[in-house]
Chains A and B, each alone.
Chain A
């Protein structure tokens, strides 16, 4: 199934005069209206609001809550001078690279690849277990991860078995815990994508490589990976975008703390807007996130268009 607007969809276009065709396009587009209104009011307006609101001094409570004033670029000046923001940006980068680009992506591929070689029953069990962590409601997954890494939790129990005493990992290594938790929770997505893609690698390609004497590693690096280039690019984009917007997992596990030690951009924006009451400042952070998200989305669409053109 393609993820880009397909050019080859059945079309029932007949040429007629210009005026009537414009009218007909309008009538035919009619069913788009409910979706278009919902998208406009609840997605496009908030996005525009983000850009405009970030130039005001809107607050959660008080006079400026209802009558915000225009303050120009004050929020952005504050933002780029704010060490907490630079930290947050850095943490977001670390979180995304470590948990999505490296963790989920590599582990997801490894699991999918091993599945093609392991016994069918084990592959099915592993698939089920990995997917289970993914389909659980995010708050439940967050509780589980919280329990696992807390002082009395399972991790320290396991360390105790080999004679080590652990600490409260959520406090002493907050980033490591949320990264591991996100790998645990999100790997299933990459695994499913790669499993579907691997099942479409032509078997004769593998056989040919095998006949030429390529060993398992060579077949992986020289045949499988190049064939899956497009899938890898797609998956990287998707997991990056998903990970950029992870809020609940981090908020429940560490609330961005201790201090700001694990406050990635979504958590940071939430804290500034709703805990410290500066809606405008939170909105400026939201705008930065939107710009980052937009850049990745455009990159993703470009990759898809190229794949479409190659097809």
Chain B
């Protein structure tokens, strides 16, 4: 370009009135969005502490923790929550283990097969899992796995594997190969190098994958809803649904209290994972295109 623009003269300073006005408008608009998003959430918090809760959002006349006391029984809370813990942590552990193993050759050796495998995995991340629940039910009948807790864990593991392999491979790609070469020279096998060199270096990544899978399994309703029948095997997601439906007049306050107990671990884990990755983009960031 031949003409020299008067850059300095026209550049707006940060505190120019126009900039400040647009900043104000943006803040006002965002505050409105925040209010809209928060209003539906307010009900569940207020109702949980209200002795006579309904579907209305209102400040309780008398604040009480009776709703929590009422649901904190083995039948309503402890067994379903323990089932959820079992389901989610088993699923997450198996998924992380299988993904770590699978990611190693995918990340370290290049071959046409691996590339095809990765495209298959990518395809798998996109598949609508709800679409296959009816055939999965048939397959579970055939395998005799219906109402099997471990069978449900295996299905949840398989359905979270594509995304988990993807994330794990991305995290592993970031670990330099040079470090393993040193281990190889010392006579370590590939598996030993994976265990002693690679895994310790990608601990935060592994934690993120674990939390990601754990949260999905914890929150999943449809899979246990279709595959598990026995009341004593139900995780919180499905037991809460029965709880919601079985009372003629719904105990709104108790429903809200139980929902809060069931949601709390999710929020804590999400915050932890965000910290781990260093930013609020956390989970979406690691799967984005």
Residues of A near any B CB (own CB < 8 A):
1-6, 9-13, 25, 28-32, 34-36, 38-39, 41-43, 45-47, 49-50, 53, 58, 65, 107, 111, 114-115, 117-119, 122-133, 135-140, 143-145, 147-148, 150-154, 157-158, 184, 188-189, 192-193, 195-197, 207, 210-211, 216, 230-231, 234-235, 237-238, 241, 244-248, 252, 265-266, 269-270, 273-274, 279, 282-283, 285-286, 289-290, 293-294, 296-298, 300-301, 303-304, 307
**Residue from A39, A65, A127 in contact with B158 in the complex, judged by beta carbons closer than 8 Å:** A39
CA of A46 to CA of B145, assembled, Å = 14
Contact string against A for B residues 245-289, beta-carbon threshold 8 Å, 1 for contact and 0 otherwise: 000000010010001001100110010000000001111111111
Closest residue to A41 on the B side, CB-wise?
Answer: B158
CA of A139 to CA of B240, assembled, Å = 8
| CB of A158, distance to nearest CB on chain B (Å) | 8
A184 close to B154 (CB less than 8 A): no
CA of A6 to CA of B126, assembled, Å = 18
New A-B pairs, 14, CB < 8 Å, besides A9-B108, A53-B138, A118-B26: A4-B118, A12-B109, A31-B102, A32-B101, A38-B98, A42-B159, A47-B132, A129-B34, A133-B41, A144-B41, A144-B43, A147-B47, A151-B55, A152-B56
A211 close to B10 (CB less than 8 A): yes
| CB of B133, distance to nearest CB on chain A (Å) | 7
B37 close to A184 (CB less than 8 A): yes
A150 close to B55 (CB less than 8 A): yes
Residue numbers in A under 8 Å from B282 (CB-CB): 192
Q: If A10-B177, A28-B109 touch, does A286 touch B7 (CB 8 Å cutoff)? A: no
| CB of B280, distance to nearest CB on chain A (Å) | 6
In the assembled complex, B210 has its CB within 8 A of some CB on chain A: no
Q: If A11-B110, A12-B177 touch, does A35 touch B98 (CB 8 Å cutoff)? A: yes
CA of A154 to CA of B42, assembled, Å = 10
Closest residue to B38 on the A side, CB-wise?
Answer: A129
CA of A58 to CA of B134, assembled, Å = 11
B57 close to A118 (CB less than 8 A): no
Q: If A32-B105, A32-B106, A184-B40 touch, does A297 touch B126 (CB 8 Å cutoff)? A: yes
B127 close to A290 (CB less than 8 A): yes
Residue numbers in A under 8 Å from B31 (CB-CB): 122, 126
Residue numbers in A under 8 Å from B113 (CB-CB): 25, 29
**Residue from A6, A46, A126 in contact with B136 in the complex, judged by beta carbons closer than 8 Å:** A46
A39 close to B161 (CB less than 8 A): yes
Near A by CB (< 8 A), chain B positions 187-238 give: 190-191, 194, 215, 218-222, 226, 236-237
B289 close to A234 (CB less than 8 A): yes
CA of A148 to CA of B44, assembled, Å = 10
Size category of the binding interface on chain B: 35 or more
B119 close to A5 (CB less than 8 A): yes
| CB of A28, distance to nearest CB on chain B (Å) | 5
**Residue from B158, B191, B221 in contact with A138 in the complex, judged by beta carbons closer than 8 Å:** B221
CA of A247 to CA of B132, assembled, Å = 12
| CB of B77, distance to nearest CB on chain A (Å) | 14
**Residue from B11, B166, B263 in contact with A140 in the complex, judged by beta carbons closer than 8 Å:** B263
Of the A-B pairs whose beta carbons lie under 8 Å apart in the complex, a sample of 12, sorted by A's number, is: A28-B105, A31-B102, A31-B190, A38-B158, A42-B136, A42-B139, A129-B38, A135-B266, A154-B39, A247-B130, A248-B221, A274-B226
Q: If A32-B105, A45-B139, A241-B128 touch, does A133 touch B240 (CB 8 Å cutoff)? A: no
* Chain A CB within 10 Å, residue with most, of B5, B30, B133, B286: B30
* Chain A CB within 10 Å, residue with most, of B44, B135, B218, B262: B135
B44 close to A144 (CB less than 8 A): yes
Q: If A136-B263, A230-B289, A245-B131 touch, does A117 touch B26 (CB 8 Å cutoff)? A: yes
Residue numbers in A under 8 Å from B12 (CB-CB): 210
Q: If A140-B259, A154-B43, A245-B129 touch, does A3 touch B135 (CB 8 Å cutoff)? A: no
- Across the A-B interface, give the 7 residue pairs with the lowest CB-CB distance, nearest first: A245-B128, A42-B158, A234-B289, A5-B118, A297-B126, A289-B131, A192-B284
